[in-house]
């Protein structure tokens, strides 16, 4: 009887602790910008950028960093949540209006999925990427300088093949959170 009680208390404690830890991730971001129905939150964690992108869609959300012209040259991370499972892809802007898989271009997929949710029509993807990777297709971030950020989301469909429903570009300072 005493063993069952200890196990029950342990289970309750574990569930509470898991709830605290998972709920804390949103509060860990130091900076946030909102543009219409899209939110980008981030923090610098050593040599890593921890990021969260949310949009009012049941489809994909995406972010691109430091394009040279429109989408060309940008380091893209796109993600969606289907049946409770999140999926992300790491891509590179090969043209002004097109991006392709880093792996197909001879690079590596350096984005690491942290979490993904779809709740009340809002898709949220959290990931980390290195500030400086060895992949020629990845952005090299100067956290104290300006970083051009492309934000987008697709229609209510879990497919990376659909075109964006919304897109915008802004400039942020990753260290201070200043945006323009």
Task: List domains and CATH numbers for the chain.
Answer: 30-173 (2.60.40.1210)
Most confident range (mean pLDDT) of 8-12, 27-31, 157-161 is: 27-31
What DSSP string runs through 38-86? EEEEEEEETTEEEEEEEES-SS-EEEEE--SBTTBT-EEEEEEEETTEE
Coil, helix or strand at residue 164? coil
Measured between alpha carbons, how far is 75 from 113 in angstroms, rounded to an integer?
15
pLDDT of residue 12: 37
pLDDT value at residue 24: 37
> What integer is the mean pLDDT of 126-152?
91
pTM beyond cutoff 0.75:
yes
Residue 156: predicted pLDDT = 83
């Amino acid at each position: 009887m005493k063993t069952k009680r200890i196990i029950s208390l342990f289970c309750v404690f574990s569930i509470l602790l898991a709830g605290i830890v998972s709920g804390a991730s949103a509060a860990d971001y130091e900076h946030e910008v909102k543009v219409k129905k899209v939110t980008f939150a981030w923090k610098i964690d050593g040599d890593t950028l921890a990021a969260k992108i949310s949009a009012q869609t049941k489809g994909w959300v995406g972010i691109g960093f430091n394009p040279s012209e429109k989408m060309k040259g940008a380091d893209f991370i796109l993600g969606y949540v289907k049946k409770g499972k999140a999926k992300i892809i790491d891509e590179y802007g090969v043209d002004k209006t097109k991006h392709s898989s880093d792996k197909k271009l001879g690079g590596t997929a350096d984005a690491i999925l942290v979490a993904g949710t779809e709740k009340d029509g809002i898709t949220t993807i959290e990931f980390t990427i290195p500030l400086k990777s060895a992949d020629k297709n990845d952005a090299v971030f100067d956290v104290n300088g300006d970083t051009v950020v492309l934000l987008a989301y697709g229609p209510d469909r879990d497919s990376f093949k659909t075109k964006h429903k919304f897109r915008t570009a802004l400039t942020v300072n990753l260290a201070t959170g200043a945006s323009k």
